[in-house]
């Protein structure tokens, strides 16, 4: 497919910038909290990949749906997720999205069309296709966008779901965030293809590549895929080439030497937020002061949300078996 000619308006650039700044600050603070031992569990930070979530989500209505991954905070934030409920969930508090029982990898908000992050790699792909099937069946014009990684593109669940989506021409867009690594394994060590978008031809759908460090490029490519799906033109596979600035888990992670420092620095030099800000100022869309004001307002909102989360109560022990699918074990027995 040729590169998209669909370009964002100034207002859409500003909108994407705000979504990206919201993700970046949320993640930077979450990283500090987890490194400081204040947040339990594993956090997979999205820093560096913000242009993908923003460039896609700016096209979606609240009724449109997304499915997400273990690296899902950015998707939830860009779709309108509530900072307070997110941080409270990360802290394991009763006021969190999952009442403190799900943590980072299980955040969902059905009112916002966020069908769930998912700790099972590629687990959310068939869910997206099922949602798209339901949307078609109910004759809605909703689009479902499914985010997943390069590693996930090797899973059977992805291939089965992609085949079915193409077969039935379902209104779903598969957005592959190719950050060049699955955990600590580089892409050439886990698959023969370089462009995951090439796999689309095997299912009979269009495959598109976008620079995932450029919000406008993602905007153009995603806009076309989403419009096609909404108009009944079926699914497509959009591969966004991107990079995570931090480790697979947490900030410093497990200190496994699997990436060259020079490679990391090179990608950090392509920071999608800095690049967009340069453009916003150069094109007189925002002044430098207005850009700074966006950051200031997000930082203040985040401080409030963290204070809310820290002041929130832990879940009561009596809620342990509520909202979970497993049957409670009878005293003295095993099910």
Please give the residue ranges that form the binding site for ligand TPP (CB under 6 A). Answer: 44, 70-71, 119-121, 149-152, 179, 181-183, 248
Per-residue DSSP letter, 201: G
Nearer Cβ to Mg ion (182/234): 182
CB of 122 to ligand TPP, least distance (A): 7
CB 247 within 8 A of CB 253: yes
Give the length of the chain: 335
DSSP SS3 for 185: strand
Least distance from Mg ion to the Cβ atom of residue 79, Å: 21
Q: Which is nearer to ligand TPP, 118 or 144 (CB)?
A: 118
Q: Which residue is nearest to Mg ion (CB)?
A: 149
Q: How far is the CB of 18 from Mg ion (least distance, A)?
A: 26
Least CB distance to ligand TPP at residue 245 (A): 12
Judged by beta carbon distances under 5 to 8 A according to partner kind, the member of Mg ion, ligand TPP, none in contact with residue 33 is none
Tell me the residue number closest to ligand TPP, measured at CB: 149
Q: Among candidates 126, 159, 136, 134, which has minimal Cα distance to 233? A: 136
Looking at the Cβ atoms of 19 and 44, the one nearer to Mg ion is 44
| Of residues 88 and 117, the one with the C-beta less far from ligand TPP | 117
The residue among 84 and 199 lying less far from ligand TPP, judged by its C-beta, is 199
For residues 244 and 27, is the Cβ–Cβ distance under 8 A?
A: no
3-class secondary-structure state, position 180 = coil
Which of residues 150 and 224 has its CB atom nearest to Mg ion in the complex? Answer: 150
Q: How far is the CB of 128 from Mg ion (least distance, A)?
A: 18
Q: Which two tokens stand for residue 148?
A: 């997943």
List residues near Mg ion by CB under 5 A. 149-151, 179, 182
Phi, psi of 168 (to 5 degrees): -95, 5
In the complex, what is the shortest distance from the CB of residue 322 to ligand TPP, in angstroms, rounded to a whole number? 25
Rounded Cα gap, residues 146 and 124, in angstroms:
7
Coil vs helix vs strand at 208: strand
The answer to whether 302 and 25 are in contact (CB under 8 A) is yes
DSSP strands (E only) in 120-235: 144-149, 172-178, 181-182, 185-186, 207-211
Residue 71 binds: one of ligand TPP, Mg ion, none (C-beta under 5 to 8 A by kind): ligand TPP
């Amino acid at each position: 497919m040729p590169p998209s000619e669909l370009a964002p308006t100034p207002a859409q650039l500003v909108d994407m910038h705000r979504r990206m700044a919201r993700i970046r600050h949320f993640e930077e603070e979450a990283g500090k909290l987890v490194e400081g031992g204040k947040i339990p569990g594993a956090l997979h930070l999205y820093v560096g990949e913000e242009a993908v979530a923003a460039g896609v989500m700016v096209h979606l209505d609240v009724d449109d749906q997304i499915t997400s991954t273990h690296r899902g905070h950015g998707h939830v934030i860009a779709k309108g997720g509530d900072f307070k409920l997110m941080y409270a969930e990360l802290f394991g508090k009763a006021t969190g999205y999952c009442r403190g029982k799900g943590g980072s990898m299980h955040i969902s908000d059905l009112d916002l069309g966020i069908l769930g992050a998912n700790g099972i790699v590629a687990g959310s792909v068939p869910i997206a296709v099922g949602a798209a099937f339901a949307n078609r069946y109910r004759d809605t014009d909703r689009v479902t966008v499914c985010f997943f990684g390069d590693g996930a593109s090797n899973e059977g669940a992805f291939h089965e779901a992609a085949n079915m989506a193409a077969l039935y021409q379902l209104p779903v867009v598969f957005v592959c965030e190719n950050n060049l690594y699955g955990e600590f394994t580089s892409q050439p060590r886990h698959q023969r293809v370089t462009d995951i978008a090439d796999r689309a031809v095997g299912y009979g759908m269009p495959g598109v590549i976008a620079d995932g460090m450029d919000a406008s490029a993602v905007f153009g490519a995603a806009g076309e895929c989403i419009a096609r799906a909404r108009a009944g033109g079926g699914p497509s596979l959009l591969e966004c080439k991107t990079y995570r600035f931090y480790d697979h888990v947490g900030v410093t992670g497990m200190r496994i030497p699997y990436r060259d420092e020079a490679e990391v620095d090179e990608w950090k030099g392509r920071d999608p937020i800095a690049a967009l800000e340069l453009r916003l100022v150069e094109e007189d869309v925002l002044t430098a002061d207005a850009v700074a004001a966006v950051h200031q307002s997000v930082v203040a909102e985040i401080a409030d949300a963290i204070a809310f989360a820290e002041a929130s109560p832990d879940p009561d022990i009596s809620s342990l078996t509520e909202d979970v699918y497993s049957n409670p074990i009878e005293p003295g027995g095993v099910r």
